[in-house]
Amino acid sequence: MSAQNPPGPQGPQGQNGPHGQGPNGPQGPGGWGPAPGPQGDPWAGGSPGPGASNPNPQGFPGYQGSPPQDPRPVGPRGPGAPGPGAPGYPGQPGQLAPKPKKKRGPLPIIIGAAVLTLALIGILIGAVAAGSGDSMEKGVNRYFEALGQTYSDDLANEVVNVPSAAALEDARKLARSQTWTVNSVKTSGNTATVSYTVSGRSEMVDLEMQKVDGKWKVVDGFSEITIKTKQPGTDFTLGYAIDSIGEDPVVVYPGTYELQGSHDSAVPSYLWEPEGAEKYITLKPGEKKTLEVDAALTKAGEDRVRSAIGSAFGRCLTGSDVAPAGCPFSVTPPTDRASTYATWNLATSGNRFQVAERATIAKGQPFTAVCADFTASVVYEYRNPAGIQKVPANKTNFTGCADLSEDTPTVTWK
């Protein structure tokens, strides 16, 4: 739909001329030459006079086909420059119309936006990387978190000096589950001073840290223990592990361990217990400790000694020899024996195999020869023409020694 020409400015009153009802007036402001009559000039944007018909009733811009010829006569100076009312021309009189600008597509805008977005992303990534860089405190926290994962390789990933695969496997067998909590971390140089709690007990340790491939790690994160035994036939372990740890240095996870006799010991571990060292051994992260441990008989061990000695003594009483082989007593052979009958008996009533049940066992004896002292009255009985005779043994105080490394302990006498 074509737009209506807006009414132009009203020209001065005059007589009818060629372009309407009045004569030509003075030159109009648009520079088209003589001004229109009273009704204005439609070519200058005004309403046509009553004497003229508008060839384009809907306005010039909507004209279809060739534009109409200007019916105005050409003045002495020729047609004037287009006035400010003419569409598509600048408002300054006499100024030429600029060349139309080429339309640009959206591609440059899209490329510019993409470049800006990539720049912003790079700045953001750099800021995040700078804010999320590793620190000694983060390395400490990872290390203590891995301490609770004794059945994985997590701890080995957080330390610099990693033990061999075989040592790590042995460490896992000995390890026990414990709860670690970091309370505070203070750093100075490459040292982190850590206050922590393990299984409800507060501790503090200085850890040497080292940055490896941008990641802070604990230099010596595993602990080491060496146990030297003073008691032959005894081997130790930590906790309830089956294998003994021997007397060579052993890599372990930091923590608290219960020192126990090993099932690999020559002397069964239930017969004795560690002595001369704390039953519970605490190893801080990276700590190396050497223990010299003695062992003492448990009640079961002492009972085993007394039982072995009593049994051996009882067997000695079953013979008829005046000096039984391997036994601690004897008598002078009687010269008045009237028969082959002869035997050994206790002088008092009681069980001959229980004579050593109250035997005294001294501390610190080797388990391969644990000696016990006891008292017993023994008589040798034989028959002579006068009847049964009883001859006391040559001694009443006895000392028997048992080798607990044997399933059936051998007993020797002093």
pLDDT at 275: 85
The pLDDT-based confidence of 402 (bands split at 50, 70, 90) is very high
Q: Give the pLDDT score at 128.
A: 43
Q: Which residue has the higher pLDDT, 24 or 308?
A: 308
Q: How many helices (H) and strands (E) does the chain have?
A: 4, 20
Question: β-strands 34-35, 272-275: how paired?
Answer: unpaired
User: Could you tell me which CATH class the domain 136-218 is placed in?
Assistant: alpha beta
Confidence of residue 61 (pLDDT cuts 50, 70, 90): very low
Query: What number is the average pLDDT over the span 185-203?
Result: 94
Per-residue confidence (pLDDT) for residue 69, from 0 to 100: 53
- pTM for the whole structure: 0.58
Q: Which residues pair with residue 342 across a beta bridge? A: 382
Look at residue 397 and tell me whether its pLDDT is greater than 80.
yes
- Tens of pLDDT, residues 138-193: 999 999 999 988 777 789 999 999 999 999 988 888 888 889 999 999 999 999 99
Residue 206 pLDDT greater than 90, yes or no: yes
SS3 271: helix
Each domain of the chain, given as residue ranges in start order, spans 136-218, 223-298, 300-413
pLDDT at 126 over 80: no
- pLDDT on residue 260: 86
Q: Is 306 a residue whose pLDDT tops 90?
A: yes
Q: How many CB atoms lie within 10 A of CB 307?
A: 17
Domains 136-218 and 223-298 share a fold: no
Structure tokens at 313: 């003594």
Return the pLDDT at 178.
87
CATH number assigned to the domain with residue range 223-298, chosen from the 4 options 2.60.40, 1.20.120, 3.10.450, 1.20.1070: 2.60.40
Q: How confident is the model at residue 127 (pLDDT cuts 50, 70, 90)?
A: very low
Is residue 309 within 8 Å of 402, Cβ to Cβ? yes
Smallest Cα–Cα separation from 4: which of 64, 56, 40, 41? 56
For residue range 333-355, list pLDDT tens digits in order: 999 988 889 999 999 888 888 89
* CB-based contact 331:359 (threshold 8 Å): no
Per the DSSP assignment, residues forming a β-bridge with 259 are 238
- Please give the share of the chain, as a percent, with pLDDT higher than 90: 48
